[in-house]
């Protein structure tokens, strides 16, 4: 057993809390990356994950898992763990739900009071829109968090605006950047099983349901048809959240003149990344559609429905994006033209991805220091 896995003051191992077990490929990828990095510190380190589907999480990641809202059980784990990991993802925000913000702040406070060291890991911050929420974030993070590692610059500015100053704050990148695609032959087999030519030319759309999406779906349909007619790119609709994203793809496909293919079923992180690596363009609302694709050097077109999407695209120097709320007819087509031009510079895009992967190493180094 490595040093990090040994008991220190009768404590050992890590407890990981995030939005896990909901069927979202982005969150699953974050967990996969964090588990991989903890085992990189010590292959034998005990790992417990709070998940909505603990049995599935145990099977998939070979960890101990407990139900996210089993308060007695996760409090018991906090009494034994050396390190509490909050994240990654955008957990400290109140747009999705005020209750989720209170829950994550409660777990941070409880973990520290029960003796854990606390790290917020490769995370995004905000938006927190209510004054009471901002006060709670400021008070709890300042008092109970040891280190915060962030996936982009915007989150640092958010923390500063709330008055969070006491934890060590480190700029890194999303943990999912370290994940690799499945082997080429496996990706080809998945494409064939879905009726796709592994040597075909494709544009991938990663869309999601969002207020106002149905009214704007015709703009995505027109862009997909444009990619067919001008560049011969077949549209593929890939679900990052396989429980919810299919509806958005259906709405767009129903308005298209040409033909597209929807990949509805979950295929695992490595295969998803592998599929995206084959795309000539990735047009995505989903943050982890953009993260996965950027890690493979694919040209991106972003449609930002949330500040976290804008923050990531700004961080990587990606200028080809629009805000969802202001999206109108004819705006996506010029961005597709520019993305096609970027395809000739794919090696430069891969170099940017390599730089982000190198920066991501700051996450694991911060965790290592807290474990030793």
Q: Could you tell me which of 188, 183, 178, 141 has the C-alpha nearest to residue 163?
A: 141
**Radius of gyration of the CA atoms of the chain, in A:** 21
290 occurs within a structural domain: yes
- Provide the pLDDT for residue 4: 63
- Provide the pLDDT for residue 10: 72
For residues 164 and 191, state if they share a domain.
no
368 occurs within a structural domain: no
Average pLDDT over residues 128-137: 96
The residues facing 149 across adjacent strands are 170
For residues 280 and 259, state if they share a domain.
yes
For residues 191 and 336, state if they share a domain.
yes
For residues 253 and 115, state if they share a domain.
no
For residues 229 and 287, state if they share a domain.
yes
Between CA 206 and CA 226 the distance in angstroms is: 17
For residues 33 and 163, state if they share a domain.
yes
For residues 188 and 125, state if they share a domain.
no
For residues 121 and 166, state if they share a domain.
yes
For residues 306 and 254, state if they share a domain.
yes
Contact by Cβ (8 Å): 52, 68 = yes
- Provide the pLDDT for residue 128: 96
365 occurs within a structural domain: no
370 occurs within a structural domain: no
Is residue 340 classed exposed, middle or buried when 0-12, 13-18 and 19+ CB atoms within 10 A define those classes? middle
pLDDT higher than threshold 90 for residue 16: yes
Confidence band, pLDDT 50/70/90 cuts, at residue 8: low
Domain interval for residue 91? 3-171
247 occurs within a structural domain: yes
This prediction has a pTM of 0.93
328 occurs within a structural domain: yes
Of 156 and 264, more confident: 156
- Provide the pLDDT for residue 242: 83
Contact by Cβ (8 Å): 278, 254 = no
3-state secondary structure of 47: strand
- Provide the pLDDT for residue 118: 98
Average pLDDT over residues 258-266: 91
CATH value at residue 11: 3.40.50.2000
Average pLDDT over residues 2-12: 69
Specify the range with the lowest mean pLDDT, choosing from 5-9, 85-89, 227-231. Answer: 5-9
Token couple for 50: 């709070």
pLDDT higher than threshold 70 for residue 6: no
pLDDT higher than threshold 70 for residue 7: no
For residues 118 and 76, state if they share a domain.
yes
Confidence band, pLDDT 50/70/90 cuts, at residue 29: very high
315 occurs within a structural domain: yes
For residues 203 and 135, state if they share a domain.
no
176 occurs within a structural domain: no
CB atoms within 10 A of CB 17: 23
At which residue do the structure tokens 């390190």 appear?
A: 83
Residue range 49-66, pLDDT digits in tens? 999 999 999 999 999 999
Overall number of domains in the chain: 2
- Considering the chain, what percentage of its residues have pLDDT values greater than 70? 98
Confidence band, pLDDT 50/70/90 cuts, at residue 266: confident
CB atoms within 10 A of CB 123: 27
For residues 99 and 68, state if they share a domain.
yes
């Amino acid at each position: 057993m490595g040093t990090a896995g040994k008991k220190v003051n009768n404590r050992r191992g890590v407890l990981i809390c995030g939005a896990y077990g909901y069927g979202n490929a982005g969150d699953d990828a974050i967990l996969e990356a964090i588990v991989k990095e903890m085992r990189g510190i010590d292959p034998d380190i005990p790992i417990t994950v709070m998940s909505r589907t603990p049995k599935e999480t145990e099977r998939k990641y070979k960890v101990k898992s407990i139900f996210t809202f089993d308060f007695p059980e996760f409090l018991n784990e906090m009494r034994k763990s050396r390190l509490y990991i909050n994240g990654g993802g955008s957990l400290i925000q109140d747009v999705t739900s005020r209750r989720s913000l209170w829950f994550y702040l409660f777990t941070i406070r409880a973990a520290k009071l029960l003796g854990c060291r606390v790290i917020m890991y490769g995370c995004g911050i905000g938006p927190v829109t209510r004054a009471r929420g901002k006060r709670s974030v400021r008070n709890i993070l300042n008092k109970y968090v040891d280190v915060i590692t962030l996936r982009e610059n915007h989150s640092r500015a958010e923390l500063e605006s709330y008055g969070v100053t006491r934890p060590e704050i480190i700029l890194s990148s999303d943990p999912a950047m370290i994940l690799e695609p499945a082997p080429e032959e496996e990706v080809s087999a998945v494409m064939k099983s879905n009726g796709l030519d592994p040597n075909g030319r494709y544009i991938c759309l990663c869309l999601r349901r969002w207020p106002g999406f149905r009214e704007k779906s015709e703009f995505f349909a027109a862009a997909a048809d444009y990619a067919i007619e001008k560049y011969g790119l077949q549209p593929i609709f890939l679900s990052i959240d396989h429980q919810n994203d299919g509806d958005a793809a259906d709405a767009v496909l129903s308005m298209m003149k040409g033909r597209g293919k929807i990949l509805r079923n979950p295929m695992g992180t490595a295969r998803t990344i592998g599929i995206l690596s084959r795309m000539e363009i990735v047009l995505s609302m989903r943050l982890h559609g953009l993260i996965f694709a950027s890690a493979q050097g694919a040209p991106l077109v972003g449609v930002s429905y949330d500040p976290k999407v804008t923050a990531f695209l700004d961080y990587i120097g990606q200028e080809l994006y629009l805000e969802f709320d202001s999206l109108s007819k004819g705006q996506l087509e010029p961005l597709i033209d520019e993305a096609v031009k970027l395809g000739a510079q794919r090696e430069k895009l891969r170099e940017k991805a390599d730089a982000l992967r190198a920066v991501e190493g700051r996450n694991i180094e911060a965790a290592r220091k807290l474990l030793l």
